[in-house]
Chains A and B, each alone.
Chain A
């Protein structure tokens, strides 16, 4: 068995492309109205809980301010992003990647064990006893796959007025359309935070081997 299944590798890289396009076009959409609100409505500074800084053009798609073009990209890439996530979940459940590598056991949640894990991480000791991933990795990947990425889709659906007649319950569950919009933004930045930490840790763990294995699949369970 390879270190990374083919389905994981395909999803990983295609998902990266989707997320980069969605994030960068999303920054343009944020620039169109740089305030976030809670509840159903909001349009003025006094209702905002956050005034978002203007993102410079070089960070955005299309690289200059065009809400229409940014929305074109966002609307297009939402499709492969959502369908690939569905594919990854099916693959993870079928090939038991989820159960074997990602699911945490009760003993891992003991405070002592968590603390030990954090200390090892800070010492940059990435040898994990048994299993493929240590607790912090399981937690991070689990949160990303199980919460952050799906929430991008759910909050995205909740912002679409054409979806609301059918998904009104979802909008209510998220606390109203402007809350859903705020959450869309928060989870996008949670994913960005994950991305930064992920890249830093890959660099510390030896980037050439890590990236090679995510492309070729690597050798059988050497981890």
Chain B
């Protein structure tokens, strides 16, 4: 028992030291820098167009788990769901020459990409599904980004713990060929659990980047004034890494 106590005390002292470092200015800068080194290494080793693995349809998992919001109760989401999202609008706004409002019908009529990919949650689990939708790049080209646009922000209908969900990526991931606005999972309209009627697929990053219940795509020059400035709901709320490719 005494030895166990010694171990616990040593661990506590070590953890306290780590937390002291993490809370210091230099420490938190270092922790943030490490995330950028990984992103730099990934970008150095990987072609910007390189694809995440795609699987045959036979690899699709029997169920696709949902995390975070799985049935939003806020705003008029439930009313929209009741009418099968017939009046859902996706706004394209911000630093674009041609702001747009797209209906689901508009989105279905764009050239479609179908991909069977693996979804990795930050918690550790994975599921495989087939997603269908237009590439984000097609819509961005249509809207014409202004030269000062550097990030794409995804606005969502769900409000989780009192804050509206949102996410963001840089232009490399926004223009990646597998970055699509999915309206189908495994050939069927998206289930509410998985983000009906529209969700993002950012295939080279973890699940929290794949914004669900998508209402708007916004081109911005900086993330500082969006939400609390960290680039996403979980980034603001819990300090998750903005670059979720690790």
- CB within 8 Å of B: which residues of A? 20-21, 24, 29-30, 32-33, 35, 37, 40-44, 58-63, 66-69, 71-73, 75-76, 78-79, 159-166, 168, 171, 177-178, 181
Tell me, in angstroms, the Cα distance from A68 to B35 when the chains sit together: 12
A-B CB contacts (within 8 Å), total count: 141
Contact across chains for A68 and B240 when beta carbons are under 8 A apart: yes
B19 close to A181 (CB less than 8 A):
no
Majority DSSP secondary structure for residues of A touching B: helix
Is A165 a contact of B51 with CB atoms below 8 Å? yes
**If the complex has contacts A72-B31, A72-B34, are A67 and B238 also in contact, measured as CB distance less than 8 A?**
yes
Listed A/B pairs (22) with beta-carbon separation below 8 Å:
A24-B15, A32-B124, A35-B125, A40-B126, A40-B128, A42-B125, A43-B61, A44-B63, A44-B65, A60-B15, A61-B18, A66-B238, A72-B22, A72-B35, A73-B18, A79-B34, A79-B37, A160-B246, A162-B46, A164-B53, A165-B46, A181-B124
Residues of B within 8 A of A71 (CB): 122, 240-241, 246
- A62 contacts B19, C-beta separation under 8 Å: yes
**Nearest chain B CB to A169's CB is how many angstroms away?**
10
Given A63-B19, A160-B245: A68 touches B239 (CB 8 Å cut-off): yes
CB within 8 Å for A33 and B52 given contacts A75-B241, A162-B204 = no
The count of chain B contact residues (Cβ–Cβ below 8 Å) is 52
B125 and A75 contact, CB distance less than 8 A: no
Interface residues of B (CB under 8 A from A): 8, 11-12, 14-16, 18-19, 22, 30-31, 34-35, 37-39, 42, 45-47, 50-53, 55, 59, 61, 63, 65, 118, 120-128, 203-206, 234, 238-241, 243-246
Identity of the chain A residue whose Cβ is nearest the Cβ of B15 in the assembled complex: A63
Knowing that A32-B122, A40-B126, A72-B31 are A-B contacts, what are 15 other residue pairs whose CB atoms are under 8 Å apart, sorted by A's residue number? A21-B18, A29-B124, A40-B118, A43-B126, A63-B16, A66-B238, A67-B240, A72-B22, A72-B34, A75-B38, A160-B38, A160-B246, A165-B46, A165-B50, A178-B125
